[in-house]
Amino acid sequence: MKNALDKHDESRGISLPERIRRYERALNADEVASFFNLQADMIRKRARDGSIPSFRVGSAVRFDPKKIADWLEKQ
């Protein structure tokens, strides 16, 4: 199944924040890490220290794509 970022011909010329914003569900640390070419552990650490917006679902950390896109634009 394809998601918004897999549609290469539709995402040409679109900024990373705008591509992230197209997700309609919460993202996990692996997905966010892939945007920035980082390890998921680094994303989880930044979520823990509050330097990247996140929320918890039980013991799992999740990321609102709209908040991640807004955060990225402010960096």
The residue whose two tokens read 């908040």 is: 67
For 9-27, write each residue's pLDDT tens digit: 455 788 999 999 999 999 9
For 20-74, write each residue's pLDDT tens digit: 999 999 999 999 999 999 999 999 999 999 999 999 999 999 999 999 999 999 9
Using DSSP, state whether 41 is helix, strand or coil: helix
Sequence ranges of the domains in the chain: 26-74
What would the two tokens of residue 39 be? 């390890």
Let me know: does 66 contact 17? Beta carbons within 8 Å. no
Single out the residue of 44, 24, 22 nearest to residue 32, CA to CA: 44
